[in-house]
């Protein structure tokens, strides 16, 4: 089987063949085809949103996706969290010597398909090859560029007491699927990552002119960590209702086996929405009508105090603090 060699990163004939026969084949568009050191894009009206991310997930193929799909979804979703319409993505690959070309093609094809679904163009990129043993197969770095419509103000600093907290679906699916694959656990029902695009769902929510304050995707550190970040940013408290948070039984089961709390397990296709209380039910209805929000729920309320803290009201009537975690609970999940 054909594999990546150091020659593919040398800038010579092998590099050019890889770029033209693989990357251009799948990423072809009018901007990328300029073929220069920098791509020139048309004028973009309004405010720009820019996000950079790196993806080092292990394993690179997992139930529900792969590192390529994850890279595009993660970048598009980060832009969408500011209310931006995603437009362009740049991509850089760091490939380990010996990596199978057929696997690289699967990943590039996956990225191409996901970018098309998101309505974004991959406009420039870079490829580096490192010696065998210097990387874990493949790392991907991306930068996303989007446009924020005039007058839209969304951010983690805008939550206010009385606002409602919504989540678009079941939590912990991604991190649990990765750990199940990594550890070789099997369940009667398959665990699948929620890796997916959120820009379509967010477009529909924003179209109804509800007073949406905050959008945030609870990736590393999960729902609890992300809510802690928002509580600190806005200087508010957050009360989460345990019984309202949607969690699959498989996620609960693996969490119990590994000693992990689903509130802290990573997601890659969920959005936290903080909205004015008067608009919460309207936004919830819109979310439930979209394929990425069918299991959406109202899960909490913004409080005046204690500032910067998140509390969980348990199903048995008690209350506990959801602290910001120390260290990485699940390494290499994105």
Hunting for tokens 């802690």 — which residue is that? 228
CB distance 295 to 228 below 8 Å = no
Residue partners of 115: CB distance under 8 A and separation at least 6 = 27, 72, 89, 121, 122
pLDDT of residue 209: 86
Joined tokens for residue 233:
């940013």
Interatomic CA distance for residues 29 and 31, integer angstroms:
6
The CATH number of 6-148, from 3.30.420.40, 3.30.360.10, 3.40.605.10, 3.30.1330.10, is 3.30.1330.10
- Tell me, what DSSP letter sits at residue 78? H
Q: What residues form DSSP beta bridges with 93?
A: 127, 140
Joined tokens for residue 78:
């980060």
Strands (E), the chain: 47-55, 61-62, 65-66, 85-96, 121-130, 138-148, 164-167, 212-216, 237-241, 272-275, 297-303, 310-313, 319-321
Residue partners of 187: CB distance under 8 A and separation at least 6 = 180, 250, 253, 254
CB distance 82 to 148 below 8 Å = yes
pLDDT of residue 206: 97
pLDDT of residue 296: 98
Domain boundaries in the chain?
6-148, 164-321
35: exposed, middle or buried (Cβ count in 10 Å: 0-12, 13-18, 19+): exposed
pLDDT of residue 189: 58
DSSP code per residue over 140-182? EEEEEEEEEPTT----TT---TT-EEEESS-SSHHHHHHHHHH
Q: What are phi and psi of 208, to 5 degrees?
A: -90, 5
How many C-beta atoms lie closer than 10 Å to residue 292's C-beta?
Answer: 21
Q: Which CATH superfamily is domain 164-321 in?
A: PurM-like C-terminal domain (3.90.650.10)
Helix ranges (DSSP H) in 172-279? 173-183, 199-207, 222-234, 249-258
- Nearest residue to 176 via CA among 191, 166, 186, 161: 191
How many C-beta atoms lie closer than 10 Å to residue 126's C-beta?
Answer: 11
Q: Mind listing the pLDDT tens digit of every residue in the chain (334 residues)?
A: 899 999 998 889 999 999 999 999 999 999 999 999 999 999 998 899 999 999 999 999 999 999 999 999 999 999 999 999 999 999 999 999 999 999 999 999 999 999 999 999 999 999 999 999 999 999 999 999 999 999 999 999 999 999 999 999 999 999 999 998 888 876 555 789 999 999 999 999 999 989 999 999 999 999 999 999 999 999 999 999 999 999 999 999 888 888 889 999 999 999 999 999 999 999 999 999 999 999 999 999 999 999 999 999 998 889 999 999 877 677 889 9
**220 cis-preceded (ω within 30 degrees of 0):** no
pLDDT of residue 187: 57
Q: What are phi and psi of 129, to 5 degrees?
A: -115, 130
């Amino acid at each position: 089987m054909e594999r990546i060699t150091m020659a593919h990163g040398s800038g010579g004939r092998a590099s050019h063949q890889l770029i033209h026969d693989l990357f251009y084949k799948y990423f072809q568009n009018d901007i990328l085809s300029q073929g220069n050191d920098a791509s020139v894009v048309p004028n973009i009206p309004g405010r720009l949103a820019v996000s950079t991310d790196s993806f080092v997930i292990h394993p690179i193929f997992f139930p529900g996706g792969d590192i390529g799909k994850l890279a595009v979804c993660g970048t598009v979703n980060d832009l969408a969290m500011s209310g931006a319409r995603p437009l362009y993505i740049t991509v850089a690959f760091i490939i380990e010597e010996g990596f199978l070309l057929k696997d690289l093609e699967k990943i590039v094809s996956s990225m191409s398909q996901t970018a098309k679904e998101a309505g974004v163009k991959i406009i420039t990129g870079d490829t580096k090859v490192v010696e065998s043993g210097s990387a874990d197969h493949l790392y991907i770095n991306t930068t996303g560029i989007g446009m924020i419509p005039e007058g839209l103000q969304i951010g983690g600093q805008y939550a206010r007491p009385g606002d409602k907290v919504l989540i678009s679906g079941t939590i912990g699916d991604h991190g649990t699927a990765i750990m199940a694959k990594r550890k070789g656990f099997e369940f009667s029902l398959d665990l699948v990552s929620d890796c997916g695009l959120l820009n379509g769902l967010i477009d529909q929510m924003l179209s109804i002119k509800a007073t949406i304050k905050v959008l945030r995707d609870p990736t590393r550190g999960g729902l609890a960590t992300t809510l802690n970040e928002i509580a600190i940013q806005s200087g508010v408290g957050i009360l989460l209702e345990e019984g309202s948070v949607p969690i699959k039984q498989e996620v609960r089961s693996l969490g119990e086996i590994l000693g992990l709390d689903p509130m802290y397990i990573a997601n890659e296709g969920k959005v936290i929405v903080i909205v004015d209380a008067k608009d919460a039910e309207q936004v919830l209805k819109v979310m439930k009508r979209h394929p990425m929000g069918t299991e959406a729920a109202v899960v909490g309320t913004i409080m005046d105090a204690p500032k910067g803290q998140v509390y969980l009201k348990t199903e048995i009537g008690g209350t506990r603090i959801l602290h910001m975690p120390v260290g990485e609970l699940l390494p290499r999940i994105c």
